[in-house]
Amino acid sequence: MYAYLDNSATTKVSENVVNLMVKVMSDDYGNPSSLHMKGVEAEKYIKESKDIIAKLLKADVKEIIYTSGGTESNNLAIIGAALANKRAGNRIITSSIEHPSVLATMKYLEDNGFEVIYLPVDNNGVVDMEALKEAMTKETILVSVMHVNNEIGAIEPVEEISKFIKSVNNEVVFHVDAIQSFGKLIIHPRKMGIDLLSVSGHKIHGPKGIGFLYASSKVKLKPIIFGGGQQKGMRSGTENVPGIAGIGLAAKEAYGNFEEKISKMTELKDYFIDRVTALENVSVNSCKGTEGAPHIISVSFIGVRSEVMLHSLEDKNIYVSSGSACSSNKPSVSATLKGIGLKPEQIDSTVRFSLSYDTTKEELDYAVDTIAGMIEMLRKFTRRK
C-alpha cells in the first residue's frame, strides 16, 4: 500500500498537463520573442494560459505576470509594491504566520529601512483584526496576508481585511499569498479587494518552476528582475513556455467539477480528523468542515517527535511533512504553531497531512491504521532517548 499525503508540498502533475508540456518542448519549442512562426506558435500558449487564468479570476489578461513560482511572485509583489510606493510611507503590515517566502522578504525590507508590523493570530490561526486596526497608520503602504495557511489550513478573512484597510486609506496596496488557496477556494481579486495575488503551479497538479502574480492595473509596482523587457518589463527573461502552458491547463482542470472535488476533499479531511483523534494523546490543529481549507490537516502526536513519525511513516510508504517544505530542512520552531499557542512538546510532535483531488479513503485508513499500530512503540522509543 502507498499513501502520498504531502500535497501541500507538491502535487503529482496531471497527465494532461504532462502531455501538453511534452508537445510544447518537442514540437512548439520556439522562443516566444522570435518573429518567425516558431516564435508565434510558442507565444500562443502564453496568450491561451493568460486567457484561462484571467477568466478564472475575472481579471484582465494584462494583469497576469508569469513568474518562476510562488516565492518569486511573493517577492515581486512585496518588494515591487514597497519600492513603488515608498514616497507615501514606509510601514508594511503582515501576519506572524506567513510563509518563509513572505517573512524573509519582509526581513529584507526591514534591513532596507521599512517598518514591518507582524500581526498576532488567534488559536485557529486567524489574524487579529483589532491588532490590524491598531497597526494601520497614515504611513502604511502595504498589507500582505496569506489566504490559506500552509501548515494548519487556516482561512484568513481577506475580504474583511481589505474592506477595513481600504476604508482607512484606499491607496494602501493589499497583497494575498494564494499559493495554498488557488484551486481550493473561489478567488475573484477585484470583487474581494485584492490588489496583488500570488499563485504557484506545482500546488495545483501543474509543473514546478512556474507561477504567476495577479497585479491589478491600478497598482504601482516596480520590477525586481531586469533584462530584455519581456512581459512589458515587469518580469524580464525568456518565458518558460512549457511551464506556462502547464499552469494554464492545471488551473483550468483545478476549477473543473470544482464543487464536487472540494466537497470530496472536505469529507475526507473530516473523516481523517475523526479517526486520528480517536487515538490517545493526539490533537488536531486544523478546523473541520469549511472553516478550514479542504486539504490541510495538522496533527500533534504527543510524545513522538515529528521527524520520527515522518520517517516511520515513510518506511511504510506513507509520505507526510513535518512543516513547510519550502523552508530550510534544518530544524526550526514553526512560527505558525507557536503563533496559535501550542506548547513546545506539541510543536515538536506536529505532522502535516495534505490531500489532493486524487486522495482516497483507503489511503487515509492505511495511514491511521499504521499510526495506531506504531505510536505506542514510538513513544516508548522517544522516552528512552
Summarised one tens digit per residue, pLDDT across range 289-325 is 999 999 999 999 999 999 999 999 999 999 999 864 4
Helix, coil or strand: residue 121: strand
Span 62-91, average pLDDT = 98
Mean pLDDT of the chain: 95
Rounded Cα distance, 158 and 165, in Å: 11
| Mean pLDDT lowest among 21-25, 57-61, 70-74, 376-380 | 376-380
DSSP element (H, E) containing 81: helix 70-84
Backbone φ and ψ of 76, nearest 5° = -60, -45
Total Cβ atoms within 10 A of residue 16:
14
- For the question of residue 287 being annotated catalytic, the response is no
Q: Where are the alpha helices (DSSP H) in 212-277?
A: 241-254, 258-276
pLDDT at 326 exceeding the cut of 70: no
CA distance linking residue 160 with residue 205, whole number of Å: 30
Pick from 2-6, 48-52, 377-381: least confident: 377-381
Mean pLDDT of 93-118: 97
Please state whether 221 falls in left (phi above 0), alpha (psi between -120 and 50) or beta: beta
Quote the pLDDT of residue 325.
Answer: 46
- In sequence order, the 6+-apart residues with CB closer than 8 A to the CB of 69 are 200, 201, 202, 208, 209, 210, 211
| Type and span of the H or E element at 375 | helix 361-384
Task: Report yes or no: 209 and 68 within 8 Å, Cβ to Cβ.
Answer: yes
How many residues in total does the chain contain?
385
pTM of the full structure: 0.95
Beta bridge partners of 278: none
On the question of pLDDT at 384 being above 80, the answer is no
What the block records as the C-alpha cell of 55 is 477568466
C-alpha 122: how far from chain center: 20
Q: For the segment 161-191, what is each residue's pLDDT rounded down to a tens digit?
A: 999 999 999 999 999 999 999 999 999 999 9
Of the residues 129, 302, 325, 326, only one is catalytic, namely 326
Looking up cell 506572524, which residue turns up? 96
Q: Which helix (H) or strand (E) holds 168?
A: helix 158-168
Look at residue 339 in the predicted model and tell me its pLDDT: 94
Confidence check: pLDDT of 103 > 90:
yes
Measured in whole angstroms, the distance separating CA 206 from the mean position of its chain's CA atoms is 14
The whole-number average pLDDT for the span 118-137 is: 97
Angle at 187 between CA 181 and CA 189, to 5 degrees: 120
Does residue 94 register a pLDDT over 70? yes
Map residue 220 onto helix, strand or coil: coil
**381 confidence band (pLDDT: 50, 70, 90):** confident
pLDDT over 70 at 383, yes or no: no
What is the dihedral sign for C-alpha 62, 68, 72, 76? Answer: negative
Q: Which three cell numbers stand for residue 339?
A: 503563533
Name the amino acid, one letter, at 297.
I
Asked if residue 93 has pLDDT above 80, the reply is yes
- pLDDT at residue number 49: 98
Residue indicated by cell numbers 483545478: 254
Which residue in this structure is represented by grid cell 512503540?
377
331 pLDDT band (50/70/90 cuts)? Answer: low
Other CB atoms within 10 Å distance of the CB of residue 193: 19
List C-alpha distances in Å: 140 to 87, 109, 127, 202.
11, 14, 17, 33
List, in order, residues 6 or more apart from 58 with CB less than 8 Å away. 188, 189, 190, 191
Q: What is the mean pLDDT of residues 342-356?
A: 96
Q: Enter the C-alpha cell of residue 124.
A: 485557529
Q: Which domains does the chain have, with CATH numbers?
A: 3-11+258-384 (3.90.1150.10), 15-254 (3.40.640.10)
CA distance linking residue 128 with residue 324, whole number of Å: 23
Q: pLDDT tens across 179-232, in order?
A: 999 999 999 999 999 999 999 999 999 999 999 999 999 999 999 999 999 999
244-266: average pLDDT: 98
Band the pLDDT of 328: cuts 50, 70, 90. Answer: very low
Strands in 140-146's sheet, in edge-to-edge order, are: 64-67, 211-215, 196-200, 173-177, 140-146, 91-95, 115-119
